[in-house]
Chain A
């Protein structure tokens, strides 16, 4: 499914810390539509959709993947943001709408599988990989499975009741998957260009992170829409997220580079033979092939 040489020949599985909320009620999709950056009103049963929750300044509060289970929508958000997201969504429930929000952090687990032959592991579980697509969640027992495309690769996602997560991981391992830790996941996600709360947080605007597909300016108002529309109409960005490929990754945080100015390294990882990082750099610098840090080290700039 993917040809990247750094990927496992079959699959690697990671239990990814996520915030899980369940929004219930007859008016759920309408309520979410007023708050999120993409149109939620047309999600079908078992439909999957990604969206951002932003503040009035257009900055990212959370990234959410939705799963519509008919008057119950599961929201999979960034790790550590669940309480604030739930409060944010709850504060705006109108008096005459039927919407309730549950904290599912301890109830549902979230797995990600990446590799060059993830489907072979899934077949071993009795799952028909052709049933899994990008726009919906497929039921498998008490789990839900979907897929996302990241660059040239695919990431398979599984939502599973917490009580069953270890059993499912064991079955995946017995079918060839390798369980990985947060260090290996950190490397994989940076190399694949998967963003997390290190990038998607109130320091950043969606367009700076290349999240144009998660902002639908024609859907009507939502918090942050005025700022997003202004940025879109101006067509200019001050900063851009890039991947840095280097021998030793630069430290997370702010760096001032001669002739370029301030860059912010949001994530980094080392692997055998090199290092990678994600960094937000001045937009004018994105055309450079290489950045030179003040200690003389260099990093190749790759657009995500």
Chain B
């Protein structure tokens, strides 16, 4: 028997999540930047906005363009022809966020304003 081969382990721990219908506000500059980054792949690709542990304040935002996973665990939103997905487990954290895009050399890029965040760190990428 190995150290992990004995009895007494539980099934994987789960965290109950209260799924909410996600609403996201995209500014015009964010929509424009999203379209530009999709580079014409809007029919096959989606923008996935998610939250993961880390950052100074507990959670980090993540945005990635990926092939549509066609997974019912995601909520689908439309932003001027760009499909945006948010996973149900992230829905309480990301509902109500406002996504902006700042075209500046210093501190530019997508910016997220999150009404659910009690705190955010200086770089703006982490919230908690």
- On A, residues with C-beta under 8 Å from B are 22, 24, 31, 34-35, 55-56, 69, 72, 74, 86-87, 89-97, 100-108, 139, 142-144, 159-164, 221-227
Query: In whole Å, how far is B74's beta carbon from the nearest beta carbon of chain A?
Result: 8
Whether, in the assembled complex, B72 has its beta carbon less than 8 Å from a beta carbon of chain A, the answer is no
The majority secondary structure among interface residues of chain B is loop
- Whole-angstrom distance from the CB of B89 to the nearest CB of chain A? 7
Q: Which of B52-71 contact A (CB under 8 A)?
A: 52-60, 62
Q: Assess whether B12 is in contact with A102, with CB atoms less than 8 Å apart.
A: yes
List residues 1-58 of chain B with CB under 8 A from any CB of chain A.
1-15, 48, 50-58
- The interface residues of chain A lying within 8 Å CB-to-CB of B52 are 34, 92-94, 97
Q: Which residues of A contact B90 (CB under 8 A)?
A: 95
Q: Are B5 and A223 in contact (CB under 8 A)?
A: no
- Do A161 and B6 have beta carbons less than 8 Å apart? yes
- Complex partner residue of B56 from A92, A94, A221, CB under 8 angstroms: A221
A87 and B5 contact, CB distance less than 8 A: no
Asked whether any CB of chain A lies closer than 8 Å to the CB of B119, the reply is yes
Whether A74 lies near B3 (C-beta < 8 A) is: yes
A-B interface, 4 closest residue pairs, ranked by CB to CB distance from nearest = A92-B53, A107-B8, A34-B54, A161-B6
Contacts of B8 in A (CB 8 A): 104-108, 161-163
- List the A residue with the shortest CB-CB distance to B90: A95
B6, A91: Cβ atoms closer than 8 Å: no
In angstroms, Cα B53 to Cα A227, docked, is 17
Query: Of all chain A residues, which has the CB nearest B121?
Result: A226
* B3 and A34 contact, CB distance less than 8 A: no
Tell me the complex Cα distance, A3–B46, Å.
65
Please, could you name 26 A-B residue pairs with CB atoms under 8 Å apart, sorted by A? A34-B54, A56-B128, A87-B13, A90-B14, A92-B52, A94-B52, A95-B73, A95-B90, A102-B10, A102-B13, A104-B8, A104-B9, A106-B8, A107-B6, A108-B3, A108-B6, A108-B8, A159-B3, A161-B6, A162-B7, A221-B56, A223-B53, A223-B55, A224-B56, A226-B57, A226-B122
Distance in angstroms between the alpha carbons of A108 and B9 in the assembled complex? 9
Q: A93-B53, A227-B56 are in contact. List 14 more A-B contacts (CB 8 A).
A: A24-B12, A56-B58, A69-B4, A87-B15, A90-B13, A94-B50, A100-B13, A102-B11, A106-B9, A142-B6, A161-B1, A221-B55, A221-B121, A221-B126
- Minimum Cβ distance to chain A for residue B4 (Å): 6
Q: Which residues on the B side are within 8 Å of A107 (C-beta)?
A: 6-9
> Which A-chain residue is minimally distant from B1 (CB atoms)?
A142
> Could you say which residues of chain B place their CB within 8 Å of the CB of A106?
8-9
Query: Do A144 and B3 touch (CB < 8 A)?
Result: yes
- A143 surroundings in chain B (CB, below 8 A): 3
Partner among A22, A97, A164 whose Cβ is within 8 Å of the Cβ of B4: A22
User: Chain A contacts of B48 at CB under 8 A?
Assistant: 95
Determine the distance from Cα of A101 to Cα of B15 in the docked complex, in whole angstroms: 11
* Interface residues as binary, B96-109 with A (CB distance below 8 Å gives 1, 0 otherwise): 00000000000000
Least Cβ–Cβ distance between A1 and chain B, in angstroms: 25
Please name the residue on chain B nearest to A21 by beta carbon: B13
Do A34 and B12 have beta carbons less than 8 Å apart? no
